[in-house]
Amino acid sequence: MPLVNTAEMFKKAYEGKYAIGAFNVNNMEIIQGIVAAANEEKSPLILQVSAGARKYANPIYLRKLVEAAIEDTNLPIALHLDHGESFEICKQCIDDGFSSVMFDGSALPFEENIRITRQVVEYAHAKGVSVEAELGKLAGVEDDVQVKAEDATYTDPDQAVEFVERTGVDSLAIAIGTSHGAYKFKGEPKLDFPRLEKISNLLPGYPLVLHGASSVLEEYVAMCNAFGGNIPGAKGVPEDMLAQASKLGVCKINVDTDLRLAMTAAIRKCLAENPNEFDPRKYLGPGRDAIKQVVQHKIKNVFNCSNRI
C-alpha cells in the first residue's frame, strides 16, 4: 500500500466519532514504537514531521523509514508535514512525496493566512495531497518559538467558516485552550468546549484538529524525575477531554510531548540502573518500548481508534 492522504481516515473518524492520532517522528525508534502500537491495534495513523525533525533527521530518511513501516505492516499511514511555515516548505514536502501537509499561517493576518493556504491547497490538491491549516493561535513552545499565554487567541467560529469556505482546506486546527509543550495550564486544565461545539455545528461533517494535545502523563514525568530529571509542575490535557473533543468533530489529535517524556523516562531509568551500559540498543530499545506503550494506550483508551482498518 502506498502512503495515503487523510481524506478517507477523517471521513470515517468523523462518522464514527473517534480521532486519529498524529504523532511526531524524529528517528527510527520513535517510528517503530508508534507503528508497532498501531499495528497491534489495527489503527490508521498519521506520522508527522516538524521543521525541527527535518533539520535533525533529513526528511528523506524519515520518508524511507515510514515507507518501510508500510511495507512491514500494510497499515494506512499518512506522512504529514507539521507546522509548515511557508508555501515553499509545503511545496517541497509535497514534491518529496508527503501525502499531507499543514500550512501554519496562524501568526499571519487573516487575509494573508487565507491567501497562502489557498495557494497550498491548489498545489496540493492537484497532486492528491491533503492540507491542514490553522486559525487562532496556541500558546506554548514550538520549534524554539515561544508564544506567551497572553498572546494566544482562540479561534473565532464565524471566521473559521469563512476560512474553510474561501480556502477549500481539508482540515482546520483550532485554538480552544490547548498549547504546545509540557506546561499547558497554570491552574486547572480547561478547554473551551462551547466554542468547539459552535465551530463544529457551523461546519457539519468537517474534520477539526487539536494541536498541543499531549496529556503529559504523570507516570512518565514521575519516572523522569525519579531518575535524575527535574520537570516540576508539568500539566497536560486530561484524557477525558480529548475523548469528549473527538465526539465533537475533532478527527486529528497531535501528540509529541508525551512521546518525548515516555522515551526519555525509559532511557533515564535504563541508564540509571545500568550505569556501565554503553550499547545504544540497550537503552534505545526500552525507549522504543515506552513509545509503543503510550501510543497503544492513547489509540485504544483515549482516541477510540482501535480496529478501524
- Residues belonging to the binding site for Zn(2+) are 83, 104, 134, 180, 211
Is the Cα dihedral 276, 281, 285, 287 positive or negative?
A: positive
Asked if residue 212 binds ligand 13P (CB under 6 A), the reply is yes
Residue 82 among the catalytic residues = yes
Which one of residues 35, 36, 38, 51 is an interface residue with ligand G3H (CB under 6 A)?
Answer: 51
Contacts of 179 (CB under 8 A, 6+ apart): 138, 139, 140, 147, 149, 152, 212
Q: Choose, from 82, 156, 170, 258, the residue flagged as catalytic.
A: 82
Quick check: 305 and 244 in contact, CB under 8 A? no
- Report the SS3 class of residue 253: strand
Residue 179 binding ligand G3H, by CB under 6 A = no
Sequence ranges of the binding site for dihydroxyacetone phosphate: 181, 212-214, 254-257
Task: Kindly determine how many residues on this chain lie close enough to bind ligand G3H according to the rule CB under 6 A.
Answer: 11
User: Nearer to ligand G3H by C-beta: 51 or 250?
Assistant: 51
Residues at the binding site are 83, 104, 134, 180-181, 211-214, 254-257
What is the distance between the alpha carbons of residues 245 and 248, in angstroms, rounded to a whole number? Answer: 5
Binding residue (CB under 6 A) for ligand 13P from 211, 288, 297, 298: 211
Among positions 118, 195, 211, 292, the unique one binding Zn ion when judged by CB under 5 A: 211
Q: Which one of Zn ion, ligand 13P, ligand G3H, none is in contact with 155 (Cβ closer than 5 to 8 A by kind)?
A: none
Alpha helix ranges (H) inside 132-232 = 157-167, 193-202, 218-226
Site string for ligand 13P, 135-174 (x = CB under 6 A): ----------------------------------------
Q: Which x/- pattern over 14-33 shows residues binding ligand G3H (rule: CB under 6 A)? A: ----------x---------
Question: Cβ closer to Zn ion: 118 or 211?
Answer: 211
CA distances from 254 to 32, 45, 47, 160 (A): 18, 11, 10, 20
For residue 255, what are the β-bridge partners? 23
User: How many Cβ atoms sit within 10 Å of the Cβ of residue 65?
Assistant: 19
What cell was used for 97? 512525496
Return the active site residues.
82
